[in-house]
Structure 1
C-alpha cells in the first residue's frame, strides 16, 4: 500500500508537470512561436516522438519539465547573437543568448519569442502556472464536493467533566475545577447538536463560533438523541481556549478567553457545497501565500531537523520525496479507500497550488521573472511613447542571467536541504 500511494502521487506529479508545460506549449503555438521541444522530466530521454515541428518526450528524472522556444532573448546591442568576452558574467549572458538562437532555422525570423508583443509573452509564461492553478482548484472541488473531507462535526464524541484551561493541556480534573457546562446540562456522547440558542448548527465552525461568542449566558441547546430531539439548558462558561483564525483554523500556541461548553467533537466525512468549497479554497490560497512568505524563516529549523536533533514540524517545507512519502502513508491509513484516494488528490492539488505560487515569484529563471521582464518592457515603451522618445526596443532579459544563476543556485541548495530532511527526518501524518 505504501508503494501504491507513492505511485499514485508520482503519476499525479507527472500529470501536473505535463499539464503545466502544455499551457506554455499551446499559447506559444497560438502566437506562432516555434517550439522545437516539449519534455516532461530532465536528464536522459526515455521516449520521444516528433510530430510536426515539435519533439514530444519523457526524460528519466521526473522533477520538472520544459518547452524549448526559439529566440527567448533578443540579440545584443550590436545586433549579434554571439560574441566573445573574457568576463565570466558577460559570458553567462552571451551563452544564454546563443542557446536561445541555436535552433533558429531560415524562415524563423518572425517566429522568435522576443519578437512577440509583451502582452503575448506574458500570456505564454503565465499559462503554465495558470494550468497548475486550474488543476488545483479542479481537484479541490472534486474532493470537497464529491469525496468529502474528514472534519469535526456537531456530534459529541466525549463530554469533559470540568473546565480546564486549554494551555494547561491536562485531562484530569482538580477539586478546584468547576464542572463543565456540558456535563452540568446533561450532554452525552453521540448527541448531535441541532441548534444552539436558536441558531441551526449544521457545521462545526458555526457551533464553535456560537459557543465562543456567548460566555456567561444561559442558552437552549437542541440535541438529537436516539432519534428524538431534546432541549438542554447550559450556562456557558468563560475559559481560555485556542485562538482561531478567520478561516476557523486553530492558531498554534495562541489562546483567548471565550465561551466554553466542554465537549470533544466527533470527526466525520463532510461534503461541502460549491460556495463553501470556494471559500475553503480561498482560505487555502491565503494560507499558502503566508507560508511562502514565511519560508526563509523556516530554514534554521529545517537545518536543525536535517543535521541536528530538532523536531520536524508539521508545517515544515517538504519536497517531492517527502510528499511522495506522505502519499504512501495515506494509503496505509485505516480509512475507506475513497478517503485514501481523496486525500491523495488533495496532496496533488496542494502541490499544484504551490507550483503556481512559486512560479509566479518575479525571479529568473522562474516564469514570473520572464513575466516581470515583459511587463517592464511594456512600461518602458509606453513611457517613451507618452514623452515622444525613441522606442527603447525589447528589454534584454539575458542581462539578468547572472542573477538567474544565483537564484537557481539558492533554489538548488534549498532543494537539497529539503531532500535530506525528507529522508532523515520526514514529515509524518500518522
Structure 2
C-alpha cells in the first residue's frame, strides 16, 4: 500500500475517532438530562446548517455541516426575568438585550406541562451531573482506550535482545570511519557480540530487563566482566570491559536533558556499544489507571499554561523558532501526526495502530480537561454557575434570608462571547501554525 494512501487512512481513522468522541461527549450530557426528566429538544453533532436530522420522541437528532463540536439543547437553560417573572423585558442596553434574547430562546419551546422539566429548576447537584457528563464520558473513553493500548497491544519496551553493535568508540558529537585506523573497537565489537544475541547474564547476574542491564554496564567502567548470550539456540559466554564514555543524560520525557543554560547534558559512564531491540509488551490491568493519570497530568499541565503555550506557538509561527513538540496543536496537526504514523512503513502495522489508539486516548483526555475550564461556554463554566447558585442559596439560608432562586447565568453571556471569540482565534492560530510550522515529532 502506498505511503500516500496510508497517510490518508491514518487521517480518516483519527477523524472518525474524534467525531465519535464528540458524539459520546454529548451523549454524556443527554443521558442524565433525560434521566432527570429535562426536555431535550436537540442532539446535534457539528455546527452550521443541518445536513441530516430525524426526530425520535421529543428530541431531534442530527448532523451539522461543520463537524467541529456538538451540542444538546435543553429547555429553560436560563431562568425568567427576576423582576416580573417574564422571559423578555425591554432594555436599551446591549448586554441586557443579549441576556433577554437568550432567555427568550431558552423558553420559546416550553409548552403546557413543561414547567417542571426546565433545566433552571433542577437542584444544583443535578445540574452539575448533567454538565460533568460530557467530560466524564471523554475521561471514560480515554481510560478504555488506554486499557486497549496497554493490555491489548502493549507498550513498546526495550528487550534484552541486541539490535545493533557499534563498531567504533566515538565521542559524543564526533564521527569515525569504521574502516580507518582511527576506529577503536567498542567492547561489544571486540568481544564478538552480534545483533539478535539475547543477553541472559552479566557479571554472573541474571539479566531480566534492559534497564537493569544498562545500570550494571554504566557502573562497570574499567571492570572486566563475563557476559552470556543466547545465539541461535546455543549459549555463548564472552568477557567484556566497559569503557568510560561520555553519554547523553536522558530526562523523564525520554529526551536528552539540558542544564539551566539550555546546554545538552552528558555524563561519564560505562559503555559497551550495544543497542536494544524493542517489542510490544502487554501490561496488566493495574497499569491502566496510573498511565491514564500520567496522561491527564501532562494534559492538565499544558492547559494550565495554555496562554503561555499559545504565545509560544504564535512566536514560532511568525519566526524561525521551532515549535514546542509538547505544545498545543489543532485538529489539522492531529491529522498530520496520525497520517505520518500510519505511513511509517518501516514500523510494524501493530505498532502503528497502537500509536493511533494512544493518540485518540490523549485527545479524549484533552477534551475532558479542556471542557472543565470554568469559563462559559465550556462545561466548566456551567458547573461554576451551578456551584455559585448553591453557595448563595446556602448563605441565604444561613442568614435567614429568602431563597435567591436560580442563578441567571444569562448575565454572563458577554463574557461567553468574549471567550468564544478567543477560542476561535486560538483555533485559527493553531491551524495556521500547523500548516506553516508543523510540530516535528519524528525528527
Q: Is TM (by shorter chain) over 0.5?
A: yes
Distance in 2 (CA, whole Å) between partners of 1:424 and 1:189 is 41
- For the pair shown, which has the larger CA radius of gyration, 1 or 2? 2
How many Å apart are 1:137 and its aligned residue? 1.4
Q: Is residue 363–residue 407 contact of structure 1 (8 Å, CA) maintained in 2?
A: yes
1:124-163 matched pairs, under 5 angstroms? 124-160=130-166, 161-162=168-169
Structure 1: any 5+ residue segments left out of the alignment? none
How many Å apart are 1:197 and its aligned residue? 6.7
- Bigger mean CA offset, 362-371 vs 393-402: 393-402
Matched, 1:49 2:54: yes
Matched, 1:99 2:105: yes
Identify the residue that residue 317 of structure 2 maps to in structure 1: 306
Distance in 2 (CA, whole Å) between partners of 1:379 and 1:195 is 64
Q: Is residue 176–residue 182 contact of structure 2 (8 Å, CA) maintained in 1?
A: no
How many Å apart are 1:30 and its aligned residue? 0.5
How many Å apart are 1:428 and its aligned residue? 4.7
Identify the residue that residue 197 of structure 2 maps to in structure 1: 191
Identify the residue that residue 262 of structure 2 maps to in structure 1: none
Structure 2: any 5+ residue segments left out of the alignment? 260-264
Q: Is residue 73–residue 100 contact of structure 1 (8 Å, CA) maintained in 2?
A: yes
Identify the residue that residue 248 of structure 2 maps to in structure 1: 241
**Among 31, 36, 39, which residue is 2:41 paired with?**
36
1:62-73 matched pairs, under 5 angstroms? 62-73=67-78
In structure 2, relative to structure 1, the CA distance for the partners of 1:395 and 1:187 (3 Å cut) is: farther
1:207-226 matched pairs, under 5 angstroms? 207-208=213-214, 223-226=229-232
Identify the residue that residue 341 of structure 1 maps to in structure 2: 353
In structure 2, relative to structure 1, the CA distance for the partners of 1:403 and 1:203 (3 Å cut) is: farther
Q: Is residue 219–residue 236 contact of structure 1 (8 Å, CA) maintained in 2?
A: no
Identify the residue that residue 380 of structure 1 maps to in structure 2: 392
Number of positions where the alignment pairs a residue of Structure 1 with one of Structure 2: 425
In structure 2, relative to structure 1, the CA distance for the partners of 1:10 and 1:83 (3 Å cut) is: same
Counterpart secondary structure, 2:45: strand
TM-score, length-scaled by structure 2: 0.84
Deviations 1:221-262 (A, max 9, x none): 5544433455656558474532422xx633653536474435
Distance in 1 (CA, whole Å) between partners of 2:339 and 2:133 is 31
TM-score, length-scaled by structure 1: 0.86
Identify the residue that residue 427 of structure 1 maps to in structure 2: 439
How many Å apart are 1:109 and its aligned residue? 0.8
Counterpart secondary structure, 1:110: helix
Distance in 2 (CA, whole Å) between partners of 1:196 and 1:117 is 66
How many Å apart are 1:288 and its aligned residue? 1.6
In structure 2, relative to structure 1, the CA distance for the partners of 1:88 and 1:417 (3 Å cut) is: same
1:70-89 matched pairs, under 5 angstroms? 70-78=75-83, 79-89=85-95
Matched, 1:364 2:376: yes
**Among 250, 274, 277, which residue is 2:255 paired with?**
250
Deviations 1:284-310 (A, max 9, x none): 222222222233223343224433333
Counterpart secondary structure, 1:94: helix
Counterpart secondary structure, 1:250: coil
Distance in 2 (CA, whole Å) between partners of 1:71 and 1:171 is 71
